[in-house]
Amino acid sequence: MAMITGLRPETFEHIQLNAGAFLMGFDYSKATDAKTLRTAITEAIRGAQTTVLSATRGGGTFSMTPATRGVEADGKRMEFVGSTINDGYTAQMTGTFLEFTEKTFIALGGVVAETSTDTVKEIRFPTSFAKEMYIPSLVWVGDMGGDRVLLIDLSNALNTSGVSFTFTDKGEGTMPFTFVAHQADLDDSEYAPIKVLIFSNDEA
């Protein structure tokens, strides 16, 4: 008897592979397929406008969680289609950075102090969330089967987990992060502040 399974020949084209990379300031607007996106990633990393925030350890996670509630009414015993309200989404990416750099600390919520010099960079952490601390576009890109590329773009990302790092004997220091997406303003409420794109090299 044949086993019942969801496995199909195209299954392995739809599997996400490896850890991917976090990019800040990456413009992918001109990419039309996986090939041009990969070229844009390579060129952007070599340029000065895009920052690879850090290598990661243990991969990462993406979640978009709705804040749901059921409308309460006398006589209602269960949820029905239309009785569940979505009060908004929390879209976030989490993981652990492995590199200790100026740009990594800044992305986690710091600013370079005015007293910095060419040889000394002083990073301070404000007591309030200034507008400059929001990353307009934080992109994670990763490989998929079939030479596809998965791209997740958080708008106005802010690290809400603070700054902490763990250092161990015979090991490497690590810094966890939680970047949460934010709406640009009160009028920007039709969609959650997140985009998920799948780039391929064919029209399928």
What is the reported pLDDT for 72? 92
Q: What are phi and psi of 144, to 5 degrees?
A: -130, 165
DSSP 169: T
What is the reported pLDDT for 49? 67
- Evaluate whether residue 74 is within a structural domain: no
| Closest by Cα among 78, 54, 1 to 179 | 54
* Number of domains within the chain: 1
- Evaluate whether residue 72 is within a structural domain: no
What is the reported pLDDT for 44? 84
- Evaluate whether residue 6 is within a structural domain: no
- Evaluate whether residue 75 is within a structural domain: no
Q: What are phi and psi of 48, to 5 degrees?
A: -100, -15
Residue segments in the chain with a per-residue pLDDT below the cut of 70? 48-49, 203-204
CATH number of the domain encompassing residue 133: 2.30.110
**How far is the C-alpha of 123 from the C-alpha of 131, rounded, in Å?**
17
Contacts of residue 201, Cβ cutoff 8 Å, sequence gap at least 6: 33, 34, 35, 147, 148
The domain in which residue 99 lies consists of 16-62+91-199
- Evaluate whether residue 85 is within a structural domain: no
